[in-house]
Structure 1
Amino acid sequence: MRVLTVAGVFAVVLSLSSASQWWENGNYYQIYPRSFRDSDGDGIGDLNGVTEKLQYLKDIGITAAWLSPIFKSPMVDFGYDIADFYQIHPEYGTMEDFERMIARAKEIGIKIILDFVPNHSSDKSEWFIKSVNGDPQYKDYYIWHNGRINQQTGEREAPSNWNSEFRYSAWEWNEIRQQYYLHQFAIGQPDLNYRNPAVVNEMKNVMRFWLAKGVSGFRIDAVPYLFEVDLDRYNEYPDEPLSNDSDCPGPDDHCYTQHIYTQDQQETYDMVYQWRELVDEFHAEHGGDQRFLMTEAYTSFENIMKYYGDGIRNGSQVPFNFDFLTSINNASKATEYVEHIEKWMNAMPAGVSANWVLGNHDNKRVASRFGVQRIDLINILLQTLPGLAVTYNGEELGMTDVYISWEDTVDPNACNSDPQHYYDRSRDPARTPYQWDASPMAGFTYADHTWLPVSADYKTNNALQQLRAPQSHLQIFKTLVRLRQEPSFRTGELKIKALDDDVIIYSRQAEGSDLYVIVLNLGSTAKTLELTKQFSLGAEAEVITSSLQSRYINGETVKTSEFVADANVGTVLVALN
């Protein structure tokens, strides 16, 4: 990779070796199985439903699908609390259903990636139950502590002031064992002890088991939480310093302290490097395509870069880039977008791929965060930047958040709040059933109920309607995915700049290939641009695709000296030579 700046334009030259891997420049699609497609009429999505819809993913150009957890679980956190890492959750189907899904995916050429949740198990796990009862093999599988004695009251209390992500103390007293255990998420999600080699080996065996079943890799959940500070260095677990965050609601919230003892410990990166070695070893032993890791880490930019590797050992191929989730919103200026793109492209180690994540099951939907009028613009941005694009199911349709009442709320993060504040914390609005067609329950199920309410707009906003329409969010998405296979988008140079607070303009071009120019107007008014001042365009260019509300249509020839960038519209142009 070569980085240069010319005339105020940030440019990156990308090159792929002749031995490029299947995952490079791919399109990755997150399936939330519980809400994707219900095949058996219980109102809950399942594996056979996923299998049924794999051809749809193939048709819209998806490279690989990663599934949120499908393992046996009491569903306290809807699959992120795993009771058995080796079994399929009965509501989702059987192992035979899973194997059928893998076979179908292989048949049509889509890779399957599983959600791997290594930080914690369910408190209903056999491992945890045996640990509670002092079984020698499992005694130290979790983080246990006697607690400390309050010098003023004489009462036993939690070992430290650590709070969970879901509010309140991260320590829970267990009457049977007469100790506290650590849970950095829900009480029903006790943290595994990665300072115990038996736990490390067990979780590696979990990975090997599913690799042998035919999955192509893993998306690894909540990586920064794997290790806590080493108790051997202290007489007790130390309190974390207060954050003094004026936006933090109160002392029960996770934001109340700085998590210097519970997140981003140095051992975490070594663990990821070990997992990369494992999948590489599996590939070397079993052949086929390279196995693949994605890591989820809401952490500092510098820490995210460490997940790529340390210059000696490789880490995950895709440390999720959450900059557009955490740092960009509907009020952000064009300069801020460009700064975040430049930052990532400049900081990447040599020989790795960029990635862009604009939505997932833990955040409000893209159309709700950025505005429905910008959904095509945002998808154009996602699909025309270098590297990998990650799409959460439904974003290709412009699905929006669904209002979920306090009574219907099931997300533990929201349920730990109250009727006045729950909605801001709730992840339910982005997890509602996928809108397949205009039939009852949006074609998600033939049942008369669903585990979360279906959006009220499903009759006018659904996949079938958009597939049949000559122009729709989905048709634009499909055009963009096909476009990414062009040499200029696979290996081409990126030159990008902000013209003002509203307009982003950039080009992609590989040597000897077409010059593409992308114009994004984030503003509320149209602007006339002289594109020839920015790039070596001829007098005319062809519109490849543009937002639904654009004045231009696909295939139209436009004058580059007076191109009109409509409000909230993105456009992809190709030079006519």
Structure 2
Amino acid sequence: MLREPKVLLFLFGAFWSTFAADALGDWWKDTFIYQIYPRSFKDSNGDGVGDLNGITSKLEHLVDIGVSTAWLSPIFVSPMVDFGYDIANFTDIDPIFGTLKDFERLTAKAKTLGLKVVLDFVPNHSSDKHPSFQKSIQRIKPYDEYYVWKDGKIVNGTRQPPNNWLSGFQGSAWEWNAQRGQYYLHQFAVGQPDLNYRSAALRKEMENVLAFWIARGADGFRIDAIALLFEDEGLRDEPVIPNTGLPPTDSGNLEHIYTRDLPEVYEVLKSWRKSVDVLGGDKKILLTEAYTTIPLAMKYYESGGIPMNFVFITNLTGSSKNRDFKRNIDRWLSSMPRGSYAANWVVGNHDNHRAASRFGRNRADQLSMLAGVLPGVGIIYNGDEIGMEDTSLTWDQTVDPAGCNAGPNKYSQYSRDPERTPYQWDNTISAGFSESNRTWLPVNPNYKTLNLLRQKMTVTSHYAVFKKLVGLKKLPVMKTGTAEVILMENNILGVVRRLPDASPVVLLINFSDINVVVDASTWLNVPEELNVYVVSVGVDIAAGTRVNATAFKIPPAASVILV
């Protein structure tokens, strides 16, 4: 049998062992971060929308499953054109979620429970209802330069936008403002004008926003759409990608060389890293959201941030093979600059279909198990720890601007609503999310059987699997051990963590739909007998079972961790 060369893999192991001792001050090391989408987590007042007091009432769930951190999607004052990502006041809470006092109570309780709280920081744009934008329209200094304004061009006597840039929400990225007599840039909805980071005054104001929330208990930030902060000063047309098959209004038709990943982005991140470090206290995490190439993502490490790793979302699907996973995992780990410990593995988020829907019910635990065994931080989206699935919604039920702007024939290709429906706590009214029958998005009808309470009462459940994964990360072998990712026969992937004088931890994933018998002992150089630590839901092997690793049968689509 031909086997995958292991030289590079062992280099990974040495690489991680070297880093581990350097990163002990980073509280997020070897933990899971739990993303909460506040509108959909828990409604405390019966209006059908989740809120801060609802989150506070459920923080014990995070303690129960063992995660270190609650990351909250935007909770700031907003007209809710993009459900909180269009901010009209960066330093206050939207009444739909509560008040500043409610937030301070949330962070205070979190700290008593040993939890960190990370906020979404949305620096690329504001709402068009933000007072600064209104002053910018009137050319009041210094707000006149807070946004990206440009004269139109006249073609055959008709005014047109400055260039061919397209919004991520369909159509031109430019909107005419008659009062100012110029176009403003919006890379998302019309109601989300882009901020101008070439303005020193604007940059200072956004640094003050970070300080404001740290003073009120924030332990760091997930920085939204950071790659879009700067645009080409000459506002040149972006190259057109031929034959995409996309509607002409879709931004995927353009090669974004002038609106994303400009070098100035990294300089701003360095300044934010410096500004939060001087505030004292525990080190603050800066997670950067940038759907970009790996080489460009790595620059965020060098600039003081932790680039969110989306390979499980953007590069891999339910039809991916073991070699596809190995290639993507290896590329990330081998690309990380020396001294950067915090690899991370994003299982899911509010912008992409749920893991159980992307990979299928039989593989609902696969990504979480990889995130649990691989070095670094796992990032889990609320509901994925119980295997929640996308909710099928009609055009009339669609509220996401990305879906609405695509129209009734294509909304389902663009809408992010299916992964945003309310958390399924139990089988009572509205899945225990709200006392109201009417919720901002419909509850998935499967909540009667798929809910947290039922899974807590079941030995084999996604909830039980996830709890064991979090516990696994606390082992010394997971904190300082080497890591190997190995291709095995018959479409099996193996991941091994090792530490001298400690039992190895072995993850085996069957990417085929048939039973496969493997000699894991020989392939992975592990003991001939191992114990089952945890298996994915649907696999009929009990935890604690002693197995023969020289002839171990892995069921179809199964993921198994052995110790």
Match of 1:470 among 442, 459, 462: 459
Counterpart-to-counterpart distance in 2, 1:7 and 1:25? 25
TM-score normalised per structure 2: 0.96
Q: Deviations over 1:481-531 (max 9, x none)?
A: 101100111111111211146210121112222211111101100101112
Return the offset for 1:248.
4.0
Match of 2:267 among 248, 267, 270: 270
Given that 2:9 and 2:483 are in contact with CA atoms closer than 8 Å, whether structure 1 keeps it comes out as: no
Return the offset for 1:538.
3.2
1:205 to 2:208 alignment:
yes
Residue matched to 2:520: 531
Counterpart-to-counterpart distance in 2, 1:539 and 1:238? 62
Residue matched to 1:29: 34
Counterpart-to-counterpart distance in 2, 1:26 and 1:279? 22
Residue matched to 1:183: 186
Counterpart-to-counterpart distance in 2, 1:378 and 1:33? 23
Find the residue that maps to 1:429 and give its secondary structure.
helix
Given that 2:494 and 2:524 are in contact with CA atoms closer than 8 Å, whether structure 1 keeps it comes out as: no
Counterpart-to-counterpart distance in 2, 1:228 and 1:7? 42
Return the offset for 1:561.
1.7
Counterpart-to-counterpart distance in 2, 1:201 and 1:297? 22
Q: Deviations over 1:356-411 (max 9, x none)?
A: 11210000110000001101222211211000000000001100000111011000
Amino acid at match of 1:520: I
Amino acid at match of 2:278: E
Match of 2:55 among 50, 72, 81: 50
Return the offset for 1:7.
6.5
Return the offset for 1:252.
1.1
- Taking the TM superposition and a 5 Å limit, the aligned residue runs for 1:139-538 are 139-150=144-155, 153-231=156-234, 237-244=235-242, 246-283=243-280, 287=281, 289-309=282-302, 314-316=303-305, 318-352=306-340, 353-500=342-489, 502-538=491-527
Q: Deviations over 1:175-203 (max 9, x none)?
A: 11111100000000000010010110000
Find the residue that maps to 2:119 and give its secondary structure.
strand
Residue matched to 2:127: 122
Counterpart-to-counterpart distance in 1, 2:309 and 2:526? 32
Given that 1:102 and 1:215 are in contact with CA atoms closer than 8 Å, whether structure 2 keeps it comes out as: yes
Counterpart-to-counterpart distance in 1, 2:506 and 2:436? 47
Counterpart-to-counterpart distance in 1, 2:318 and 2:484? 23
| Greater displacement, 526-535 / 321-330 | 526-535
Given that 2:373 and 2:495 are in contact with CA atoms closer than 8 Å, whether structure 1 keeps it comes out as: no
Amino acid at match of 1:447: S
1:74 to 2:79 alignment:
yes
Amino acid at match of 2:330: E
Find the residue that maps to 1:177 and give its secondary structure.
coil
Given that 1:123 and 1:190 are in contact with CA atoms closer than 8 Å, whether structure 2 keeps it comes out as: yes
Percent identity, aligned pairs only, is 46
Counterpart-to-counterpart distance in 2, 1:531 and 1:411? 46
Match of 1:543 among 513, 526, 532: 532
Counterpart-to-counterpart distance in 2, 1:444 and 1:48? 12
Return the offset for 1:8.
8.1
Given that 1:8 and 1:497 are in contact with CA atoms closer than 8 Å, whether structure 2 keeps it comes out as: no
Match of 2:21 among 17, 21, 32: 17
| Greater displacement, 158-167 / 507-516 | 507-516
Counterpart-to-counterpart distance in 1, 2:435 and 2:473? 36
Amino acid at match of 1:343: R
Given that 1:160 and 1:239 are in contact with CA atoms closer than 8 Å, whether structure 2 keeps it comes out as: yes
Find the residue that maps to 2:270 and give its secondary structure.
helix
Choose between structure 1 and 2: higher helix proportion: 2
Q: Deviations over 1:274-302 (max 9, x none)?
A: 1111121112xxx3x11110000011111
Find the residue that maps to 1:407 and give its secondary structure.
helix
Counterpart-to-counterpart distance in 2, 1:501 and 1:336? 14
Find the residue that maps to 1:534 and give its secondary structure.
helix
Residue matched to 1:234: none
Structure 1: runs of 5 or more not aligned: 232-236
Counterpart-to-counterpart distance in 2, 1:123 and 1:500? 56
Counterpart-to-counterpart distance in 2, 1:124 and 1:158? 22
Counterpart-to-counterpart distance in 1, 2:153 and 2:182? 10
Find the residue that maps to 2:175 and give its secondary structure.
strand
Counterpart-to-counterpart distance in 1, 2:153 and 2:175? 13
Structure 2: runs of 5 or more not aligned: none
Amino acid at match of 1:242: V
Amino acid at match of 1:408: Q
Given that 2:128 and 2:191 are in contact with CA atoms closer than 8 Å, whether structure 1 keeps it comes out as: yes
Amino acid at match of 1:291: K
Return the offset for 1:9.
5.2
Amino acid at match of 1:308: Y
User: How many residues matched?
Assistant: 554
Return the offset for 1:414.
0.7
TM-score normalised per structure 1: 0.94
Counterpart-to-counterpart distance in 2, 1:498 and 1:537? 15
Counterpart-to-counterpart distance in 1, 2:452 and 2:541? 24
Return the offset for 1:5.
5.9
Find the residue that maps to 1:173 and give its secondary structure.
strand
Structure-2 change in CA distance of 1:117 and 1:527 (3 Å): same
Find the residue that maps to 1:293 and give its secondary structure.
strand
Amino acid at match of 1:12: G
Find the residue that maps to 2:526 and give its secondary structure.
coil
| Greater displacement, 452-461 / 14-23 | 14-23
Find the residue that maps to 2:319 and give its secondary structure.
coil
Structure 1 runs of 4+ with >4 Å offset:
7-11
Counterpart-to-counterpart distance in 2, 1:400 and 1:5? 38
Amino acid at match of 1:440: I
Structure-2 change in CA distance of 1:519 and 1:305 (3 Å): same
Find the residue that maps to 1:113 and give its secondary structure.
strand
Counterpart-to-counterpart distance in 2, 1:406 and 1:174? 31
1:94 to 2:83 alignment:
no
